Amino acid sequence: MMHTVESILIGILVLSVVVFVHELGHYLAARWRHIKVDVFSIGFGPALTSWYDRAGTRWQLSALPLGGYVKLHGFGGDDSSDEAVDDDEAFHRKPVLSRAIVTVMGPVFNFIFTIIIFIGLFGFYGHSEVRPDVGEIEPGSVAQKAGLHVGDHLTSLNGRTLLGVADLQAQISAHPGENVTLGLSRQGQDLALPLTLGEKGQTGHKTGYLGVRFSIVIGKALPFYKAVPMAFEKTWDLCVQVLQSVWQIISGQRSASQLSGTIGIIHASGQVAHYGWVSLLLFVAAISTSLGLFNLFPIPMLDGGHLVFYAAEAIMGRPVSERVQGYALQAGLSLVLVLFLFTGYNDLRNLGFFHKIESISHWVFSQH
């Protein structure tokens, strides 16, 4: 029980930190462009505690610590709720460039945060890397029976190029007991190895199993002038991997059942934390990058959707009509809500929640 509570607390902390960094980008950009920020909230719902800063912003910790928001004065239209604030400090009165800067700085701060994490890791620990190379094979495992060798470099699964160890693990986990073809490179020769993945876990929540441990390359601490460019490179690689994963889901190369939401992130954070601080920081970097990219997607309701409106305004010389924006925002809200529900369903299913509910229901009805 204590392990579960600890994992949940760690997960909430990770999510809160990443969201705080994102909203801090909006807040600081707004202050820079002389836009009043009415509220800076960590979490949603009723405020548990709050205080005001010198600029009149109410900072608050809310009851539901799953995300957060910044409320800009005059965002989305005229806001006369605070008569003490001159209209010149309202978001809607600012030039389109200022509004675009405030909007984009949320995702930008997520990328900056990722870069800072990597600089710290490379500067103190070096560039350690887990490679999709077989470092050890468990006796009697699927890998041993299929003929995998230590040193094999795994390159694809069912013909689809792997994006790294995390991608391979996700793919294996998603296909318990299924026949797959594993692509690999052995001593310079490309091979295709057919095998049947093993299964582990409880009934109703089984995951695929291969039975190998991957090679870990331990790096040495890097000087600052080397850590910085490598941090930028690693952040770029993360962005590419996230976008490739999204495209593979859209194109049907990857199952949408692998999409994870808030519950999955919290659960994974707690699990990763038990591998140490380095692993947890790498996970935080990946979540921060993903949040930044997701918010740049051109979907109304997200930062990227607002940037599309501002780009159209800059081209046309006038704002997009409120009617068009209203319809677009409703569509965007519907899409985000559907995605939230879908990823929540995936998370609960992957945690075996529905199987537990089914078992409880059977037990209850068997008592009557």
Active-site entry in 6, 23, 83, 136: 23
- Round to whole Å and give the CA distance between 215 and 149: 13
Closest by CA position to 325, among listed 156, 126, 48, 75: 75
23 is catalytic: yes
| Alpha helix (H) residue ranges in the chain | 2-32, 96-124, 142-146, 165-173, 224-250, 262-273, 277-296, 303-316, 322-350, 353-366
Question: How large is the angle between the packed helices 96-124 and 277-296, nearest 10 degrees?
Answer: 160
With beta carbons less than 8 A apart as the criterion, state whether 272 and 285 touch.
no
Closest by CA position to 167, among listed 183, 149, 185, 155: 155
- Round to whole Å and give the CA distance between 185 and 165: 15
With beta carbons less than 8 A apart as the criterion, state whether 254 and 137 touch.
no
* Tokens 């876990």 found at: 201
Cβ atoms within 10 A of the Cβ of 11, count? 23
CA dihedral 233, 238, 241, 247 (to 10 degrees): -110
With beta carbons less than 8 A apart as the criterion, state whether 215 and 130 touch.
yes
Dig out the tokens for 203 from the structure.
Answer: 């009934």
User: Which residue type sits at 236?
Assistant: W
With beta carbons less than 8 A apart as the criterion, state whether 22 and 70 touch.
no
With beta carbons less than 8 A apart as the criterion, state whether 313 and 320 touch.
yes
Closest by CA position to 287, among listed 1, 7, 11, 60: 11
Catalytic residue IDs: 23
